Structures are given as C-alpha cells and as structure tokens.
Amino acid sequence: MAVYTHVTAEEITEFLKNYNEGEIISLKGIAEGVENTNYILQTTKASYILTLYEKRVNPDDLPFFLGLMDHLVKKGCNTAAPVRDRDGIILKTLCGRPAALISFLNGLSVNRPMANHCYQLGREMAKMHKAASDFGLSRGNALSVAGWQDLVLQCEDRADEVAVGLKDLLHDEMDFLKSHWPSDLPTGVIHADLFPDNVFFMGDELSGLIDYYFACNDILAYDVAISMNAWCFEADGAFNITKASRMLRGYVKERPLSDAEMSAMSILCRGASFRFLLSRLYDWLNQVEGALVKVKDPSEYINKLKFHRAVKSPSEYGLGI
C-alpha cells in the first residue's frame, strides 16, 4: 500500500454519496507498499480501506482481483471484501483512477513472526487455495519467468549500483530458472504476496489476509515458497528452519503437498526470491519523486537468493521434520 494520488475532502465526500456507509470522519494515507494509493477511511458507520489503482495496475485485471476477494469471503475465508454501492457496483472512479472501497479487517500485522504465526499462515493459505479452486475467472502471472526476463533487461545496466556483481548474478539465475522452472505441478489461484504486512492477527490468532492485487493463476506451491522467503528469515539473514517447518505443517494440514511439489521447493524458493529481488531492484532504481511510499532495499533478497542457490535437499526447508 502507498499514496501516489491525493484525495481531497470534497472528492471523498462526493464519492461516498453513492454508498450507504455513513458520513466521512477522517481519511488518512497509508505509506506502506508500492503499487496502489491506499487510505484508511473512517465514517460514522465503520472503517474501510479506500484503494485507487495506479498506472502500474492493468484495469482489465480489477474484476479478477475484486471478484476473487468477494468469492473468498462467500466461501468462508478470512479476508477483506469489496463494498458495493447502492447500485451493486464494486469498481468506481475517483480522481481519474479506478477505485474501490474495501471492508476494514481487524487485526495487526506482526513485525517479528514466530513459529505459531507461520503455522497459522500455512493453514490459511491452503484454505484459500482450496476455496479459490472454483473461482470462475483466471489471470496469468505477469511476474513469472517471462516477466523476470523483462525486469532483468530493464535493470541490468544499473544493477551493480546496488551490489557489485549483481548484473552477472541476475543473468546467471535467469538462465537457470528458464531451464529448470517446473511445468507439471498443481496450479490454481495464488495470493503471490503473502508478506507479514498482508496477514493480520488478533492476539495470537490469524484474523485474515489482505491485498490480493498480485493474485493470479500459478503453481500452488510457489505461494508457499514466496511466504517462506517472507516469513522464515531472521533479521540477520539466517534461515529459520523451525518457522519453515511449522508453515509447511500448517499448509499440509489442509492441502497435502505431493512428492513432486516437495522436490521442487528449492527451485520454487529460488524463483520467489528472484522475483522480489527484481521488483525491488526496479523500484529502487526508478523511485517516484513526491510519492508517499517506502521503497524497499533489494539487498535483502540478494542474500535470500544466495541461500536458496546453496540448498541441496528439501529437508533444509523443514520438509519431513
């Protein structure tokens, strides 16, 4: 989440006239994230997230994102849901941007995930994968192998400004992943961005998942790999096998992983770390002047990628523990 487009009091007041959600009390921008403009909206009725979809988001994808959230809520998943206006419309326009009002999900993200948090995330992720299995829309993953290649080409000339030798690392890893990326694993709808700031807890209990704007159809176990990268490394860069094992145990409690999925976990984790290294590198090199947004250092994912490149066995991720 971030703020690129500034909304005035007059504009949000006019926007709310078509809803039955009360009168505005406050509107506060959210700095975290990189893709869209987000505000916390407080009305006399409740709290909401107001999202304006920026230029990097393809408007044609919005029915998928919002429809998926609506579908998951109806299937009993703990997630935020889009709010319909008086005419039943979810997707609106505000400040010249596509916009939606999203229900506010109670809870807090955790800054330092513990093993129990990882277990609960694994279970909820698997539940989400199963609930989305009959969702009627599909969306390809623009940030899979072909998308990685495009980002490498866009970043290669300045990559060594971030770390010496990074350009060579990008090309070496790209060549490996193009040759080894799995093509025969179970697929379905994945969240693709289950970082700690997109998972809420009430006390020690998971209260829900948010921010489905990278959701797409891809390898289900790839979602697990993304989450292991995001949740199972410590601040000093060390991989925590206990957290990884607990996440995997939670996941297989709801959806067992096949032998093929477990065998491919190292490659999936390499791909996941490479994907976020590239997107963070691109954003680091192409910062938007004046935007209220925290640009994330790509160096964290250089180190994670190097760890995965050295893994020799799925047991190093806690599989089977």
The predicted-structure confidence for 157-197, as pLDDT tens digits, reads as follows 999 999 999 999 999 999 999 999 999 999 999 999 999 99
Picking from 103, 133, 165, the residue at the C-terminal end of a domain is 103
CATH code of residue 244: 3.90.1200.10
The H-assigned helical ranges of 156-257 are 166-180, 220-231, 241-254
Asked whether residue 216 is domain-assigned, the answer is yes
Task: Examine the domain organization and report whether 289 and 167 are in the same domain.
Answer: yes
Residue whose entry in the numeric block shows the structure tokens 């090309």: 171
User: What DSSP line would sit under 24-40, residue for residue?
Assistant: EEEEEE----SSSEEEE
Picking from 35, 69, 103, the residue at the C-terminal end of a domain is 103
User: Which amino acid is it at 227?
Assistant: S
CATH code of residue 36: 3.30.200.20
Task: Examine the domain organization and report whether 167 and 263 are in the same domain.
Answer: yes
Task: Examine the domain organization and report whether 195 and 145 are in the same domain.
Answer: yes
Can you tell me the distance from the alpha carbon of 111 to that of 108, in angstroms, rounded to the nearest whole number? 9
CB 226 within 8 A of CB 193: yes
Mean pLDDT, 10 residues at a time, over the chain (321 residues)? 79 95 93 76 95 86 95 94 95 94 94 96 98 97 95 97 96 98 97 96 94 95 98 96 97 97 97 97 83 76 97 88 58
